[in-house]
């Protein structure tokens, strides 16, 4: 699966200019740079240029940056997606101990990625197996880069609340969110 490639014109916007300042002049080069940044939470996800400041990012900030870059350069084929998937010890081995500790088979987790037509593109840089991810995908919606903060968290929490209720999970939403945070910490350490 390949992302569309195009030249980046630094005059098109602040994201394009920031990439050009690093001598990154094509979308393929930008994807490579983003994917190779460390996986780590950013201090201010509302800052469109936070990856340039902190040289790290998550699925949210990495893919929102690439979506903004595509938009600035007139490439409308890329869509920013929010997917809920079954995060388990098979597709995310780093969280196995956390799931075992709380006697959970999986946790529905929110993940951002791009779609080019029907192809899923993931530049998170943590080894997401796209085929396996799609098999574990529970729900998917298109979002804008500005929705990676409050909207994403609320969408995820609403999904978890329904999941807890339907599946009679023995944890409150707050407790499950803390378990999820342990999973994310284990993933970041891996």
Tens digit of pLDDT for each residue in 70-101?
Answer: 999 999 899 999 999 999 998 888 899 999 99
- Domain shared by 98 and 32, yes or no: no
pLDDT band at residue 32 using 50, 70 and 90 as cut-offs: very high
Query: What domain range is 85 assigned to?
Result: 78-189
Whether 3 shows a pLDDT value over 90: the answer reads: no
Q: Let me know if residue 3 belongs to a domain.
A: no
How many domains is the chain built from? 2
> Would you say 81 and 156 are in contact if contact means Cβ atoms under 8 Å apart?
no
Structure tokens at 128: 């997401």
Structure tokens at 89: 């010890």
- Domain shared by 181 and 100, yes or no: yes
* Threshold 0.95, pTM exceeds: no
Measured distance CA(91)–CA(89) in Å, rounded:
6
- Domain shared by 57 and 103, yes or no: no
Tens digit of pLDDT for each residue in 114-167?
Answer: 999 889 999 987 666 667 778 889 999 999 999 999 999 999 999 999 999 999
């Amino acid at each position: 699966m390949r992302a569309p490639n195009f030249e980046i014109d630094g005059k098109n916007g602040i994201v394009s200019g920031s990439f050009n300042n690093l001598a990154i002049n094509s979308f393929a080069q930008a994807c490579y740079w983003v994917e190779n940044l460390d996986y780590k939470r950013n201090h201010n996800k509302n800052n469109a240029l936070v990856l340039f400041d902190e040289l790290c990012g998550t699925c949210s900030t990495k893919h929102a940056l690439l979506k903004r870059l595509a938009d600035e350069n007139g490439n409308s084929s890329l869509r920013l997606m929010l997917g809920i998937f079954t995060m388990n010890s098979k597709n995310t081995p780093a969280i196995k101990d956390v799931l075992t500790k709380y006697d959970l088979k999986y946790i529905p987790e929110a993940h951002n990625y791009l779609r080019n037509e029907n192809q899923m593109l993931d530049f998170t840089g943590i080894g997401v197996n796209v085929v396996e991810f799609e098999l574990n995908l529970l729900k998917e919606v298109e979002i804008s880069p500005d929705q990676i903060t409050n909207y994403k968290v609320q969408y995820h929490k609403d999904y978890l609340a329904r999941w807890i209720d339907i599946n009679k999970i023995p944890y409150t939403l707050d407790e499950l969110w803390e378990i999820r945070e342990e999973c994310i910490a284990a993933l970041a350490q891996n």
